[in-house]
Amino acid sequence: MGHIERAAQLLRTCDGVLIMAGAGMGVDSGLPDFRGPEGFWRAYPPFRSLGLHLEDMSNPQWFYQDPPLAWGFFGHRYGLYTKATPHDGFRILLDIGRAKERAREGNKPSFFVFTSNVDGQFQRQGFEEDRIVECHGSIHFMQCTDCRLPQCREIYPAEDLDKIQVDETTMRASSVPQCRGCGTNVARPNILMFGDYGWLSERTDAQYERYEAFLAAQKGSKLAVVEFGAGLHVPTVRRQSEYIVSRGRSTGEYEASLVRVNPRESQTPKGDEYLGVDIGALEFMKSVEPHLQDVLTASSGG
């Protein structure tokens, strides 16, 4: 049995699906994954001459030292993310998740998303907010750069960021958003950055609580963990995927298998519960979809 057929068999026979997504998930939607310095500089050429890397720019220091440069970077990213259309792999995943839930007895939740991406692509496809953990936060939410005042402890939806004009030759913003709580401090995205001690985690903490409730509801179930585009450089998602499998094996709460989809870094730990597939997210979903038509049609009454 080939890798695609084996992956499809896992998806066909599982009770629930846990979708794990790193930066590579958005590549087929036209979004950069910033892989390595060259990948980052291809997306943002002005930073090459400055010798700045992703780790340098995704750092809260710029909101204090040079707010127009900080918002040049994040304002441009916001524009990329809001203009991008989720590729069809997102739709297929949602179809599978909903099919599993319709077929499942007892109204148990049957799919959840864990992602390090801050782009909001899953929500744009139609995944419900209460089924997603954004472990690094979201560019679609804001906070103050100084949280000492009570009114500045708020996490609020981003508004009017599309009005920020960015000079792409310098990557500097023409305007800088202000905190809506105090009206004086610079606002920043509610994103966990490198060296970040000011990130407000309350929104993501609530997501983790719902995530744990989902896992608790999988008691006695067979869970397919499908990971997309999660690299080794920032291994948050990869570690979480492997933790879910080992947790099920050690506690007996559920039975879990991991399918790691990554065109360059598909290596997995040893064991029958792990499968690496070295292709991109869209190609993978397009390849497994024909093998799952019985699941999709049976649960919809077709």
DSSP string, 95-135: HHHHHHHHH-GGG---EEEEE---S-HHHHHT--GGGEEET
Residues 6+ apart with CB under 8 A from 109: 16, 101, 131, 214, 217
Q: Confirm whether residue 147 is marked as ligand binding.
A: no
How are strands ordered across the β-sheet holding 16-21? 132-134, 111-115, 16-21, 222-228, 255-261, 274-277
- Cα torsion for 6, 12, 13, 17, to the nearest 10°? 100
* pLDDT score recorded for residue 69: 95
Angle at 85 between CA 137 and CA 22, to 5 degrees: 40
For the cut 90, the answer to whether the pLDDT of residue 35 exceeds it is no
Q: How confident is the model at residue 179 (pLDDT cuts 50, 70, 90)?
A: very high
User: For 213-234, how does the pLDDT look when each residue is reduced to its tens digit (9 = 90+)?
Assistant: 999 999 999 999 999 999 998 8
Q: What are phi and psi of 271, to 5 degrees?
A: 140, 150
Can you say whether the dihedral through the CA atoms of 245, 249, 250, 252 is positive or negative? positive
User: For 236-255, how does the pLDDT look when each residue is reduced to its tens digit (9 = 90+)?
Assistant: 999 999 999 999 999 999 99
Rounded to whole angstroms, the Cα distance separating 215 from 234 reads 24
Domain ranges of the chain: 1-296
Rounded to whole angstroms, the Cα distance separating 234 from 84 reads 23
Q: State whether residue 2 is helix, strand or coil.
A: coil
The answer to whether residues 255 and 284 touch, using CB atoms and an 8 Å cutoff, is no
* pLDDT score recorded for residue 47: 86
Rounded to whole angstroms, the Cα distance separating 299 from 297 reads 6
Consecutive H or E run containing 79: helix 67-83
Second CATH level (architecture) for the domain 1-296: 3-Layer(aba) Sandwich (3.40)
For the cut 60, the answer to whether the pLDDT of residue 301 exceeds it is no
- What is the arithmetic mean of pLDDT over 108-126? 97
Q: Confirm whether residue 152 is marked as ligand binding.
A: yes
For the cut 50, the answer to whether the pLDDT of residue 1 exceeds it is yes
- What is the arithmetic mean of pLDDT over 7-15? 97
* pLDDT score recorded for residue 34: 75
* pLDDT score recorded for residue 299: 53
Residue type, 14: C
User: For 44-64, how does the pLDDT look when each residue is reduced to its tens digit (9 = 90+)?
Assistant: 888 888 888 888 899 999 999
For the cut 90, the answer to whether the pLDDT of residue 160 exceeds it is no
* pLDDT score recorded for residue 302: 45
The answer to whether residues 268 and 276 touch, using CB atoms and an 8 Å cutoff, is yes
Least confident interval from 1-5, 240-244, 282-286: 1-5
Q: What is the mean pLDDT of the chain?
A: 93
Between β-strands 16-21 and 222-228, what pairing exists: parallel, antiparallel or unpaired? parallel
Q: How confident is the model at residue 74 (pLDDT cuts 50, 70, 90)?
A: very high
For the cut 60, the answer to whether the pLDDT of residue 137 exceeds it is yes
Rounded to whole angstroms, the Cα distance separating 72 from 77 reads 9
Taking CA atoms, 115 is separated from 24, 25, 145, in Å, by: 11, 9, 24
pTM of the model: 0.95
Catalytic residues, by residue number, are 136
Q: Confirm whether residue 179 is marked as ligand binding.
A: yes
- What is the arithmetic mean of pLDDT over 254-268? 97
The larger pLDDT score, comparing residue 301 to residue 128, is at 128
146-181 burial string, b = 16+ CB within 10 Å, else e?
bbeeeebebbeebeebeebebeeeebbbeebbebeb
- What is the arithmetic mean of pLDDT over 204-216? 98
